[in-house]
Amino acid sequence: DAGITQSPRHKVTETGTPVTLRCHQTENHRYMYWYRQDPGHGLRLIHYSYGVKDTDKGEVSDGYSVSRSKTEDFLLTLESATSSQTSVYFCAISESVVNTEAFFGQGTRLTVV
């Protein structure tokens, strides 16, 4: 299995509070991704990174920010959590553009109450 660790695995937080999810990889892969998974929507891309300090938005980036100061860590921050951000969040990594798949972490279940 690819070395990807998401933390925390479960979190309950209150509306309006900031929340940070962490993704840590030991594979030295260039690309890192944050997705959210909701029933009927599959996986939707929030943000991704194509190198240290290089990030870009995905399709559902509003209300989220990311940072990547080291190759191995990719942080997702919910600036002010809302109930609509209750979801399962997955981190994924990929080595390069050509010929390579994404490897996924085990997910973080976030509940905003």
Partner 1 sequence: AQSVTQLGSHVSVSEGALVLLRCNYSSSVPPYLFWYVQYPNQGLQLLLKYTSAATLVKGINGFEAEFKKSETSFHLTKPSAHMSDAAEYFCAVRGGDNFNKFYFGSGTKLNVKP
Question: Can you give the binding site for partner 1, defined by CB under 8 A?
Answer: 31, 33, 35, 40-45, 48, 50, 56, 58-59, 90, 92, 94, 97, 99, 101-107
> Considering the complex, what minimum distance in angstroms separates the CB of residue 69 from partner 1?
19
In sign, the C-alpha dihedral spanning 81, 109, 3, 46 is negative
> Considering the complex, what minimum distance in angstroms separates the CB of residue 95 from partner 1?
12
Strands, E assignment, the chain = 4-7, 10-13, 19-25, 31-38, 42-51, 54-57, 64-70, 73-78, 87-94, 103-104, 108-112
> Considering the complex, what minimum distance in angstroms separates the CB of residue 106 from partner 1?
5
Q: Which is nearer to partner 1, 18 or 24 (CB)?
A: 24
